[in-house]
Structure 1
Amino acid sequence: MSSTISGKVIAITGGARGIGFDTAKRLIADGARVAIGDIDEVQMKTAATELDITAYARLDVTDPASFADFLDMVEAELGPIDVLVNNAGIMPTGWFHEESDKITRRQVEINVLGVMWGSKQALQRMLPRRSGHVINIASLAGEGYFPGVAAYCGTKHAVKALTETLRREYHDSGVDFSCVMPTFVNTELTAGAGKPKLLRNAEPQEIADAVARLVEKPKSQVRVTGMAGKLSQLQNILPRRVLEPIIKALGTEHILLQDIDNNARKAYSDRIETN
């Protein structure tokens, strides 16, 4: 149990599975008072039972009113929110010109507007107290360029830029902003995807650990894994003639296109089309 985290009220979006669920589990183990929100009510209730929590509610992050209701519930059940983790997100794969307009719009609504609504409403609650922390789960795709997830990359670049801008805008307000940028993570989101050579996927528990470290000691951003993060930073420094052979060696140009196993990915693809 962490003395820094113990007793903090932490709300997590997309908390029914994957990174959100493991983050809730880790923070509860550290003594936090955690609430989760998710659009999948059945899975959320299952998760809440496993986590042994009573603060949970259906949350559609694309709807500001739904977000307000969720945060109101959290504060009514647990008290003023210390930390909001904007985790909910989707990642369809495939050729951009074949992606439906509906799913392109959904990515922007969930991955970008959802983070904006959450950050804005958290600020409205935290600023009067001059205390709080918003942690946004972005991706190394937020500073990279991965064929097969063009719209997703665009949304995560937006989350990274939004988080850093808010951090500077509110730097003397008592409210902190942090951005977590994971590599590919072994969750349903990457089901059926190829894997880069020479690099391993992260486990959701590693992202949960990164969030816990940020709750303990806020900083602007953290990359997971360390090796993938270092390579990601290099791509904006190295000249193209040096970078291209590295990209080719990693195989990231085709792992989300030609290497995709659509059968293995079907359950996830179907779910994000309907929820």
Structure 2
Amino acid sequence: MSHPTPIDLAGAHVAITGGARGIGRATVEAFVARGAKVSLGDLDLDLAKATAEATGASAHHLDVADRSSYDAFVSAAEAEHGPVEVLVNNAGVMPNGAFLDMDPALDRLMMDVNVHGVLHGMRRVLPGMVERRRGHVVNVASLAGKFPIPGLAVYNASKFAVVGLTAATRLEMAPYGVTLTAVLPSAVDTDLASGLDMRPIPKVSPQRIADAVVGSVRGREAEIAVPRYVGALATTTSLVPVGVLDRIRRIVRDDRALHTDTTERADYAARLNAAATERTTR
């Protein structure tokens, strides 16, 4: 097993998906502040350009669910800044609702973006990283990839997939000095969590997630939960008897994702429904 090749962020090329807003934008800012050359991809090209202009990054259109779009993004980014040394698979969507009530089109959107989007990115950049014996991939998953939450069943499924994918691929890449890290945020104060009261899960700022992503380039941990203690709690629940855990869930009202502030969440839900509808009509 090779030791990871160190990456000096000053001058390194970092590619970030879903980089126009939320965690993505905070991550763009964090890497730029450390001297990296940042390429951000986003479905909303106008917003991506505005973010790029404000941060000093370069902007590209990207539909992570479309492999050809992901290939074009990386090719254009590498033509401008050289080989990708760090890839941050950040783009993701989070529809919510009771499993039996969910629109299958939203299920497909979640799996296409949250799972296949990550697969497309990894398959595009990892061969070059292996050849150079240098590189790091960060997959922004979720604590929902460790801990099931009523009202987020398919989202849980997508993030469980990313956690497992990251862990297994990390083992395959180890002999080449290339690493992967899964970052597992709790609820984050972005559009994805708008209208959702996820207490007692703490809602954290996008900047805290960005700091964890940047820090992973140095530490190369397999997983980083944000905040870390919530990750430890999620792991500990597997040791708690089911009956006891069910009582705890009822006490803390862990079904809050089934009951949302629909007014606060309206804009985000509308964007998701429009994206899902577009895919079904292609």
TM-score class normalised by the smaller sequence: over 0.9
Distance 2:250 2:9 in 1: 42
Distance 2:171 2:164 in 1: 11
2:29–2:55 Cα contact (<8 Å) kept: yes
What corresponds to 1:39 in structure 2? 43
2:129–2:135 Cα contact (<8 Å) kept: yes
Alignment of 1:155-194 (within 5 A): 155-194=158-197
CA deviation profile, 1:156-179 (whole Å, cap 9, x unmatched): 000000000000112101211110
Question: 2:270 is matched by which residue type in structure 1?
Answer: D
1:102 to 101, 105, 108: 105
Q: 1:26 aligned to 2:30?
A: yes
1:9–1:81 Cα contact (<8 Å) kept: yes
2:32–2:56 Cα contact (<8 Å) kept: no
Give the gaps of 5 or more residues in structure 2.
1-6, 276-282
Question: 1:272 is matched by which residue type in structure 2?
Answer: L
Distance 1:83 1:249 in 2: 42
Alignment of 1:1-275 (within 5 A): 4-53=8-57, 55-197=58-200, 199-252=201-254, 254-258=255-259, 260-275=260-275
1:183–1:225 Cα contact (<8 Å) kept: yes
Provide the secondary structure at the position in 2 that maps to 1:171: helix
Distance 1:231 1:189 in 2: 23
Distance 1:52 1:132 in 2: 23
Could you state the TM-score of these two structures normalised by the residue count of structure 1? 0.94
Question: 2:256 is matched by which residue type in structure 1?
Answer: I
Distance 1:66 1:7 in 2: 25
2:146–2:234 Cα contact (<8 Å) kept: yes
* Higher fraction of helix: 2
2:167–2:222 Cα contact (<8 Å) kept: yes
Question: 2:93 is matched by which residue type in structure 1?
Answer: I
**Cα RMSD between the aligned structures?**
1.3
Provide the secondary structure at the position in 2 that maps to 1:36: strand
1:5–1:216 Cα contact (<8 Å) kept: no
1:246 Cα offset (Å): 2.9
Distance 1:28 1:22 in 2: 10
Provide the secondary structure at the position in 2 that maps to 1:242: helix
Distance 1:128 1:182 in 2: 31
2:130–2:173 Cα contact (<8 Å) kept: no
Question: 2:33 is matched by which residue type in structure 1?
Answer: A
What corresponds to 2:278 in structure 1? none
1:226 Cα offset (Å): 2.1
Distance 2:64 2:144 in 1: 21
Distance 1:83 1:153 in 2: 26
1:134 Cα offset (Å): 0.8
1:142 Cα offset (Å): 0.3
Provide the secondary structure at the position in 2 that maps to 1:181: strand
2:26–2:207 Cα contact (<8 Å) kept: yes
1:48–1:56 Cα contact (<8 Å) kept: yes
CA, structure 1 residues 72+194, in 2 after alignment: closer, same or farther (shift >3 Å)? same
